[in-house]
Amino acid sequence: MIALLRGEVAVRRTDHVVVLCGDVGYRAAVSAETLRHVPAMGEQVTLHTHLIVRDDALALFGFHSEQERDLFLMLLSVQAVGPKVALAVLSGGTPRELIGALAASDVARFQAVPGIGKRTAERIIVELREKVAVSGAEDLGPAAAILARRGEPQHPRTLAREGLVELGYTPAEAEELLSDAAGESAEELISQALRVARATPS
């Protein structure tokens, strides 16, 4: 398994890069999010990778971070989501932003990805939120960690406030977003708060 590439950027395209490692160039498909972090040709880059072995080809995928690679693998576990669609989902934002969309049950965000209908978008949210809650939530980001702590004996609003702060909001902003939020769980409160944040003009 090829897990990591470190070398010189030989080719940089909109959907893939070629990394020269020694005398061998490795072509890796990348998301738009990863491409933002890939430097110009001739400069050094490090990519976390995942190799998919097919009957007719070896497909290598590159990621800026292990978090993005983990999300890619989780997306592939969802029915009707293949590598191309998974990369398109990852192109929609940072891993933290995508986990925030999962926490907010933002079906529209995933449905906006080419190749994803409403049913698949809903399936992504349901299945990935379950997986994040069961395993590795701390590695995937603060919002996922909040969802995984649903069973802790803490007040839901306290958990929700902590989650929003860890997502980058100030304590005052978190309080404001939660001021009109209603719900019995931190999950519901975070979901409503993030919907308010997206609806509020910047």
Measuring CA to CA, which residue among 111, 112, 32 is closest to residue 64? 32
Question: Whole domain around residue 31: which residue ranges?
Answer: 4-64
34 and 118 both lie in a single domain: no
Q: What is the pLDDT of residues 54-92, one digit of tens each?
A: 888 899 999 999 989 999 999 999 988 999 999 999 999
Q: CATH number of the domain that 180 lies in?
A: 1.10.150.20
pLDDT for the residue 140: 42
Q: What is the pLDDT of residues 155-170, one digit of tens each?
A: 778 878 887 777 777 8
86 and 178 both lie in a single domain: yes
Measured from the Cβ of residue 108, the count of other Cβ atoms closer than 10 Å reads: 11
- The model's pTM is 0.67
Give the chain's radius of gyration (CA, Å): 18
